[in-house]
A and B are shown apart, each in its own frame.
Chain A
Amino acid sequence: MTPFTLSRRAALALGAAPLVLPGLARAQAGDPVRLGVILSATGGLAAFVPPIRAGITLAVEEINAAGGVLGGRRIQVVEADDQTNPQAGVQVMTRLVQAENVAAIIGPMASGITIAAANAVSIPAGVPIVSPSATAPAVSQLNDNDTVFRTAVPDGLQGQVLARITREAGIERVAIMAVNNDYGRGLTGSFTAAFQGRGGTVTGSQNFEENRPSYRAELQTLAGRGNPQALLLIGYPASGGNTILRNSIENSFFPRFIMTDGMRDQTVVDQVGARQLEGMFGTGPGTAAAPERRAAYEAAYRRANPNLDPGAAFVAQAYDAAYVIALAIEAGRSADRAAIRQNLRTVANAPGEAVGPGEFARARQLLGAGTKVNYEGASGPIEFNATGDAQGRVEHWAVRNGRVTSVAQLAE
C-alpha cells in the first residue's frame, strides 16, 4: 500500500472541482468584440498553423492599431484547437459560440471539420464562419442559411488548373497517389475528370493511409501499370508525402512528380533532396491580388514575423478573413451575428470604393461617411458568390534551383 491515500470525500471533492471551472467562462457583455478562431493546432494539419495564426494576429493588430471597430472597441481573438478531429471541432465550436459568445469565427481549417461543426453548431446558432482553407466542394452544398463563407478557392478549380498545366508540360499518362480523406478523394475526382477531358489518361489511382513506414508496394503497382510518365501526389509532407517521394526516388518508380497545395512547402525540397525534385511542379492556393496590395501585406507580415513566410499556404486567406469580418462589423455598425452575416458580402464584393490590406482606418472613414467599400485582399479580390465562396486564383509553382517558386496565377 502507498503510505498516503486520499479519503473518499477528498477524492470526490477533487473530482468535482473541474465541474465548476467552465462556469467562469460566462459571457462578458461589454467592450472588446470577440472573434473566434478555430485552428488545427495539433494533429495532422498542425504544421500549417503557425504562419496562419500569425496572419490572423497581424490583421487584428492592424485593425486595433487603427482604432478598432464600432467607435473604439478592440477585436479580441479567442483561439481554439480542433486537434484535426471533427468531434473535437464540434466541441470547441460549441464552446466559442455558447460560452465565449464570439461574434464570428475564422476556421475551422479542414473541410470535414468545417462541415461537421457548421452543421452541429454554427448554422443552428446563426454564427457566421469564414474558413481560410476548407477547399472541398461539399462545403458549398451546406444548407447554411448563408452563414458559411470561405476565402479559400474550392478544389474543383485546383483540379482543372492542375490538369491544364500537366497537359501543357507534355504529360499524357499520370498515376495518382492520394491521401485517403475528403481532400485527397475530392481533388483526385476533379483532376481526373479535367485531365481526361483534355485527352490525358490516368493509369492508376491509389488512396493511401497516412503515417505508414513504407509505400513501396502501392508505388510499385502504380508504376507497373500503363507506363505512367509522372506521379501526381496529393497529400501532406509529414504524414506520408515525403516518404512516398523518397520511396519513388530510391526505386526509380517515376521520372517526374506533380504535387498540390498540401505538399507546397519548402521543407519537402529540403528534406527529400533538391537535386531529385528539381523541375517538379504543382498547384496551390493562389493570389489574384493587385501587386501593390500583395506587397503591402507581405511587407507588414515580414516586419511582424521575420521567420515566417507570408506566401505559405492559406496565410493570406486567413488574413483576409479577419479583415472582411471586421469591415462587416463596421459596415453594419453592430457586432451582432446576423448583422455581420448580412454585411460580409456588402464589404467584400464590388461595387464600392476599393480598400486593401493595412487600410482599415481609411475603410472606416469611408464607411462612416456612408460610402460603400469593396475589400480587395492579400489573396485576391475576395468576391463572395451565392454559396459564400471567394472567387480566387490557383497558383502554378515549381521547384527551381532548390526553391519552391511561384510561376503563375491562373483562373482556369
Chain B
Amino acid sequence: MPGIDYFYPEFEVVRRDERCIRCRVCERQCANEVHRYDPERDMLISDEAKCVNCQRCVSLCPTRALKIVRSDCRLRENANWDGDTIREVYKQAASGGVLLSSMGNPKPLPVYWDKLLINASQVTNPSIDPLREPMETKVFLGKKPDRMTRDAGGKLVTDLTPQLELSMPVMFSAMSYGSISYNAHASLARAATEMGVCYNTGEGGLHEDFYKYGPNTIVQVASGRFGVHEDYLEAGAAIEIKMGQGAKPGIGGHLPGAKVGPDVSRTRMIPEGSDAISPAPHHDIYSIEDLRQLVWSLKEATGHRKPVIVKVAAVHNIAAIASGIARSGADIIAIDGFRGGTGAAPTRIRDHVGIPIELALASVDQRLRDEGIRNNVSLVVGGSIRSSADVVKAVALGADACYIATAAVLALGCHLCRTCQSGRCNWGIATQRPDLTKRLNPDIGSQRLVNLLTAWKREIMELMGGMGINSIEALRGNRLMLRGVGLNETELRILGISHAGE
C-alpha cells in the first residue's frame, strides 16, 4: 500500500549497559524477537518496533538492567485527536481492516466500584473479628422455591432444584481452551477444585485430561457449540449458555486456525488448522422463548441435575432482559460488564458497546425484586472485578457471586499488554505455541490462584466483620452498607444507595 506508515515505536527498551552481563535471557524469552545479541560488538540490541511491553524481559533480567518506557516521540498535543486515535486512523488507512484488541476496555470511563464506600460498625453494634469468630462465605447458586411443602407426616420436603455450592462468592469466568493454554486451564481447574469454587471452560470444550475436575467445572455452550456433546454436558457442575460477553456484546468469537493444533482441534471437535468462528447470535435463539427451549433442552439432556446459567453482556436494556431470563427456567444469570476481558475483540466494540457492570447489577437486582422473582435466579457478575473490595461491593449491591478472569490471568503472570490476539503470549497464557505454553507451570499457576482467592477470602471476611456481618448472605443486597461519593442523583438512584454523609 503506498503511503508512509512509519511511526516511531510506542515503547522504548532502556538497557543500562553497565548492568548487562550478556546472559541473553531477554533474547531467549522474547517471542516478539525484540532483543538480539550481536557477537561482533558483544552487546544486546533491541528492535523496539516489535515490543508490546509485556515486561517478560524486565521480569527475568537478573541484574535489573532493563526497563520499558513509553516513547516520548509524540505528535503535537491534542485533547481531541490523541496519539492513539491518530495512530488508529493511519493503521486503518494502511490496512482497510477492523482494528483488533485484547483484554478489557482501557478507556477512562467511570469505575463505579471506586466511587462506592463500605460501612463499618461503631458503637451501636459490634464489629466481629474473623480470627476469633466464625465468618461464613459459602453460597449456593440456583433457584429457590417460593413455597415450602411438607410430607404426610408434616416434615419439610427438602428437595431442591440443583444448586451450585461455592466456598466463597468468586468463580473463574469463561476462558476457552484455545484462547488460553492447556497449562492455564490446568491451573484454573486445579485451583478451583482446591478452593471449592468453579472455573469455566468457555466455548472451547473440555480437554479430556480435565474431566476429573468436573465437580468444579462450568461447561459452556456458546453459539459455535464447539466441543459440546453429551459427556461434556454431564461432566460439569453447571452448564452455561453464553449469549454474550462484556468485551464484545453483539458479536461472536474468532479463534484463528493457527491456534487450532491437534489438541485444541480434538477438544473443540473441529478440523485442525481451521478457524473457529462463533456466530454473533445463537442461530436457534432469536428471541426469549427460543432461549427457554435451549435451557430446557439442556436440562432434559442432563436429567435436571445441573443448574443452567445464562450469561449475557450488560447492555442498555439489561434489566428487562434479565427479567425475561429469570422466567426462562435458567437457574443463574451471569452478567458481564463492559470492562470484561477478551482474547480478541474489535477495538470499537470493546471500547464503545455495553454498560458498566455496577449499574447493570443494581438495576437488574432491583428489577427482579420489583417483579418478585429475585429468588428464581442467582446473579453472578463479572466484567472487571479487581479486588476483594469489588466483590464485597458487588455482593452488597445484590450479586450472589462474582466472576473473575482478568484478575486470574494476572495471578498467572499476565502483564496486561493487551496483545493476546497475536498468539505470542510471553507468559504462556494466551498462546498455543509449545515453547511458550510450557512457561506456565501449573504447579506454580494453581498455587498463585489459590493464594489470590485465599487472600481475597480473608479480606472479604475482614470487611464483613467490620460491618458486623458474619455471613455473606446477610451482605447480599444490603445496600445500606454502601455510600456513594462524587455521584449524581441519577447514579445514586440507579445504584439504590445514599451519598456519603447522608
The answer on A and B forming one complex is no
Chain B residues near A (Cβ < 8 Å): none
